[in-house]
Structure 1
Amino acid sequence: MATDASPKLQDPVPQTHDFDQRTATAEHDGLQFWQFMVAGSIAGMVEHMGMFPVDTVKTRMQALGTCPIKSASVKLALQSILKSDGPKGFYRGIGAMGLGAGPAHAVYFSVYEICKKSFSRGNPDNHAAHAVSGVCATVASDAVLTPMDMVKQRLQLGSSPYKGLWQCVQTVFREEGIRAFYASYLTTILMNAPYTAVHFSTYESTKRGLTKVSPDSADEETLMVHATAGAVAGASAAALTTPLDVVKTQLQCQGVCGCDRFANGSIKDVVRTIITKDGYRGLMRGWMPRMLFHAPAAAICWSTYEAAKTFFQELNNGRSSGTSRFCFMVSERTLTVVANEANRGRSMQVARQ
């Protein structure tokens, strides 16, 4: 997820080190509520769709039972997916994520921007306000994303009994009820709260460190700074919160393909089961693909969000160049994602051999 946002790629303006009211207004970008939602929705969909194959590997590694691979190595996870479903197996459940990521990120970014404006009182250096705003945004967006995330993970399992998105939704609702869609909601919030706190604090410190390296060119390189800082923050926060992510996967996939079903669905019960079966190392299953997912995902999300915001800023200012610039930015990000996916595909073929 992206964090604090500031105006990007605008015409040069006189620089000042004093944060007056004009700076505070610019820091909030002057965008309308619906524009934050659209920018966030685009960023979320590009982020999750681009990194979906890595997320599939992580899910396979974290699920316990007879259906997933017995080993937690990335190589065996890749081989298992290719053997059971072929290359298309890396994209099973992507429709569910496409439906959930857009609305969830729209909620996330809009709630974050509103809370940030309210809590920071115009001070861009109020990192505590940014962290609290991020937690509020997380609670709201998780309520939207959790049901589709559960469907997505069940479809990602090896030999999944569900033929598709809607068949999975109907079957789960009929056999397990509405509560099954939110079985991991509490765990997700408990995971994303520290994730957000670590992400925001790491992002802010990294961004400031990168800006100090070359302050004269900071404005021109601002998208690269955000992408790099986001990648560092995403990887750090992902590694720290992996145990709760394993618990979340267990709760969402319980009873499917031979995966364990838990009596009360409590976090304590799931942790005890994981430790009994796999030892304490079981709580770190999938940490590598989780980091490989969140580092570039945060960079992609940040870059796309800032590009969309820049488009709306120029649109609000009546600049005709806004559309072409936004299209160029998104095209550039898309080409980068495609190139990364191609490289990842070649790596999969090598691993398979």
Structure 2
Amino acid sequence: MATDATPKFQNPDLLPVPQPPDYNPAIVVSPSHDGLHFWQFMIAGSIAGSVEHMAMFPVDTVKTRMQALGSCPIKSVGLRHALRSILQTEGVAGFYRGIGAMGLGAGPAHAVYFSVYEFCKKALSGGNPNNHAAHAASGVFATLASDAVFTPMDMVKQRLQLSNSPYKGVLDCVRRVLKEEGFRAFYASYPTTVLMNAPFTAVHFATYEAVKRGLLEVSPDSASDERLVVHATAGAAAGALAAFVTTPLDVVKTQLQCQGVCGCDRFTSGSIRDVFRIIVKKDGYRGLMRGWVPRMLFHAPAAAICWSTYEAAKSFFQELNTKQG
């Protein structure tokens, strides 16, 4: 009896594996990344963040210039005017002022960002790929951690990006800010950054996972061959939508980080409400949407680059682990 039963239990047809109600194995074609080590998530995220921000840095410079004018009684500057102004006065090099600060901050911040996201997603979703609430919550936790790392360098970067910036470089900016304004100046925008990035990340990750899932469902047979396109498309859609929704808070963040530099107002209070009120008083409600075009132009391709690079790095580590295992 026992010997007769052995081959039966080896028959996969007699051992159906229960799946979640909305689980469709036909569309789960990308390799599982659960086997990656924590340090591998950090390296993948660091590479993705650095590639993303370095590639799109000129667009970020244009956005910063447009938003920094918002606290001053100056009429709105369009995207074309901002581009022409930078090229005429500073040349191509003007688009890359502050890139050193970005290089120092983007890698570590994204390492924290993606590793925390992966950890929380696994813990909160219970393995369900359709749990969008878990994806959104994981994104919020990730941004709380990464913003604590990135905010100081982001402040330095934006001050260096300004036209006629008084700082000679990253170290000069850090020294002068510490001497003239104190350590707290590096985190003056942190509450605003968190308030902005929490909904930004929630929208971003939820949209990314939903669009990616939808694209895989449209063409499950070819999804394996089009994995890079899927990640890039989903990332672009997520980045553009999240960027547009959170532009007003990004304007406030830029004002706080650039206050007192190049003619921008210095705020007696770091209150988000007070900064909002000043911007609306001087530039109307349109001032809160200053720079939304370059912000979307930045985040759509940046997210596509970031997610594609991140998933490619994860796949590399997955194959490496398989070979070593």
TM-score normalized by the length of structure 2? 0.88
Per-residue deviation, residues 153-197 of structure 1 (Å, max 9, x unmatched): 000000000011100010001100010000000000100111111
Partner SS for 1:303:
helix
- Which of 30, 35, 40 lines up with 2:40 in the alignment? 35
Residue 194 of structure 1 corresponds to: 199
Residue 78 of structure 1 corresponds to: 83
Dislocated runs of 4+, deviation >6 Å: 65-69
Larger Rg: 2
Q: Residues 47-196 of structure 1 correspond to what in structure 2 (within 5 A)?
A: 47-64=52-69, 70-196=75-201
What is the CA distance between 1:214 and its match in structure 2?
Answer: 1.2
Structure 1: distance between partners of 2:215 and 2:280: 40
Residue 307 of structure 2 corresponds to: 302
Partner SS for 1:316:
helix
Letter matched to residue 50 of structure 1: A
- Which of 229, 232, 241 lines up with 1:236 in the alignment? 241
Structure 2: distance between partners of 1:285 and 1:132: 28
Give the conservation status (yes or no) of the 8 Å contact 1:69–1:76.
no
Structure 1: distance between partners of 2:251 and 2:178: 23
Of stretches 80-89 and 157-166 in structure 1, the one that deviates more from structure 2 is 80-89
Letter matched to residue 202 of structure 1: T
Give the conservation status (yes or no) of the 8 Å contact 2:57–2:99.
yes
What residue ranges of structure 1 are gaps of 5+ in the alignment?
1-15, 320-353
Per-residue deviation, residues 55-89 of structure 1 (Å, max 9, x unmatched): 00000000127989743200111122123311100
Give the conservation status (yes or no) of the 8 Å contact 1:187–1:247.
yes
What is the CA distance between 1:129 and its match in structure 2?
Answer: 1.1
Residue 286 of structure 1 corresponds to: 291
Structure 1: distance between partners of 2:73 and 2:290: 12
Structure 2: distance between partners of 1:206 and 1:274: 35
Partner SS for 1:133:
helix
- Which of 262, 275, 286 lines up with 2:280 in the alignment? 275
Partner SS for 2:221:
helix
1:311 equivalent to 2:316? Answer: yes
Per-residue deviation, residues 297-353 of structure 1 (Å, max 9, x unmatched): 00000010011111111111117xxxxxxxxxxxxxxxxxxxxxxxxxxxxxxxxxx
Partner SS for 1:123:
coil
Give the conservation status (yes or no) of the 8 Å contact 2:132–2:210.
no
Give the conservation status (yes or no) of the 8 Å contact 2:70–2:290.
no
1:181/1:111 Cα in 2 relative to 1: closer, same or farther (>3 Å)?
same
Partner SS for 1:63:
helix
What residue ranges of structure 2 are gaps of 5+ in the alignment?
1-16
What is the CA distance between 1:209 and its match in structure 2?
Answer: 2.2
Residue 19 of structure 2 corresponds to: 18
What is the CA distance between 1:204 and its match in structure 2?
Answer: 2.3
Structure 1: distance between partners of 2:87 and 2:73: 13
Structure 1: distance between partners of 2:232 and 2:53: 16
Give the conservation status (yes or no) of the 8 Å contact 1:61–1:69.
no
Structure 2: distance between partners of 1:279 and 1:17: 57
What is the CA distance between 1:117 and its match in structure 2?
Answer: 1.4
Give the conservation status (yes or no) of the 8 Å contact 2:73–2:283.
no
Residue 250 of structure 1 corresponds to: 255
Per-residue deviation, residues 234-267 of structure 1 (Å, max 9, x unmatched): 0011001000000000000000011000011211
Structure 2: distance between partners of 1:77 and 1:29: 45
Aligned residues, how many? 301
Give the conservation status (yes or no) of the 8 Å contact 1:100–1:145.
yes
Letter matched to residue 283 of structure 1: L
TM-score normalized by the length of structure 1? 0.82
Structure 2: distance between partners of 1:100 and 1:131: 24
Letter matched to residue 168 of structure 1: C
Letter matched to residue 249 of structure 2: L
Structure 2: distance between partners of 1:125 and 1:101: 29
Partner SS for 1:215:
coil
Of stretches 111-120 and 276-285 in structure 1, the one that deviates more from structure 2 is 111-120
Residue 223 of structure 1 corresponds to: 228
Structure 2: distance between partners of 1:304 and 1:17: 34
Structure 2: distance between partners of 1:187 and 1:113: 25
Structure 2: distance between partners of 1:95 and 1:74: 24
Partner SS for 2:225:
coil
Give the conservation status (yes or no) of the 8 Å contact 1:69–1:77.
no
Letter matched to residue 281 of structure 2: T
Partner SS for 2:127:
coil
Letter matched to residue 160 of structure 1: S
| RMSD, aligned CA | 2.0
Structure 2: distance between partners of 1:318 and 1:282: 55
Per-residue deviation, residues 113-152 of structure 1 (Å, max 9, x unmatched): 1111111122222211111111000000000000000000
Letter matched to residue 318 of structure 1: K
